[in-house]
Structure 1
Amino acid sequence: MRLALLLCFFSFIWLADCAPPTCYSRVLGLSKEIIGLLGKLHNFHRTKTCVEILPKLFLDVQNSCINTKLHDFLYVMENLPTQYCRERPRIVLLKQKVTNLYRIINRICYRDLVYFTDDCEAIETGQSTPHYREDRLQMLVEEKR
């Protein structure tokens, strides 16, 4: 009896995990994979010299500058200086993942994603500077007085 109950419980968990991903969840998951792979490439001795020329990239899917930064990143990846770097399997995998992310954002999830910031510097540095609207800025000035 307990075995049947346990089997039934795990089958419900498995069915709950079968829900199709939303655009946002797919983009978020893929961006985390890319950041993880970039970290591995920077630490791996065979690819360290190849990825030194890649621009810094901190993916924030709610930043409207992500499209231009991904486009620039892909351009650099397609024009790596040596054939050795262009053919490394992990670099090819990174290029595929970045291309997939760029296509998903621009074609599949074109109107589904909501951008909350337009801080292009945050994608390069990883640190976002707060931008206050005029009414919020006025409230902050009044609080200081």
Structure 2
Amino acid sequence: MKLAAVALVFFINFLWTAKCAPPTCYSRVLGLSKEIMDMLDKLQKHPRTKTCVEVLPKMYLDVHNSCVMPKLRDFLYVVENLPTQYCRERPRILLLKRKVRNLYIIINRICYRDLVFFTDDCEALETGQSSPRYGEDRLQLLEER
């Protein structure tokens, strides 16, 4: 009985300690990109910000895509230069702008050379549909089978 109680306390302590570990650069980028996508979805559904978000370019964030930096930069430019003052001053739009800028800075400065890009499909960041592109070596192996 005592052994089970000690094991339970140890397990709970382990879980608590694991939660306290600071996020890695990669986990922060993944989390922030998910927050941005969720926020964009909410902004598109909210009546006060729906018209403002219609101006924004379509964006499906994939931090494993090498085109993510130019896409974030272009998106940030549009958010900072929205056509109406009403849209530029909306608190949720300001929060979106701050999160996109933070993600851009984290990828560009803090995680520089830590992220691995698996694809270079720039169109996938606009459509959300990633088409696999095989390198010459992989394509040759597929053709030989």
Per the normalisation by structure 2, the TM-score is 0.91
Shift of 1:135: 2.3
Equivalent in the alignment of 1:79: 81
Structure 1: unaligned runs, 5 residues or longer = none
**Counterpart Cα distance in 2 of 1:113 and 1:14:** 28
Which residue type is aligned with residue 106 of structure 1?
N
Shift of 1:139: 2.9
- Say if 2:59 is the partner of 1:57: yes
Which residue type is aligned with residue 101 of structure 2?
T
RMSD: 1.7
Equivalent in the alignment of 2:106: 104
**Counterpart Cα distance in 2 of 1:9 and 1:141:** 51
Equivalent in the alignment of 1:138: 140
Structure 2: unaligned runs, 5 residues or longer = none
Shift of 1:4: 7.7
**Counterpart Cα distance in 2 of 1:111 and 1:136:** 25
User: Identity of aligned pairs, percent?
Assistant: 71
Summarize the alignment of residues 25-40 of structure 1 with structure 2, pairs less than 5 Å apart.
25-40=27-42
Equivalent in the alignment of 2:128: 126
Shift of 1:14: 1.3
Which residue type is aligned with residue 59 of structure 2?
L
Q: Secondary structure at the match of 2:123?
A: helix
Q: Secondary structure at the match of 2:71?
A: helix
**Counterpart Cα distance in 2 of 1:89 and 1:3:** 49
Per the normalisation by structure 1, the TM-score is 0.91
Shift of 1:141: 2.9
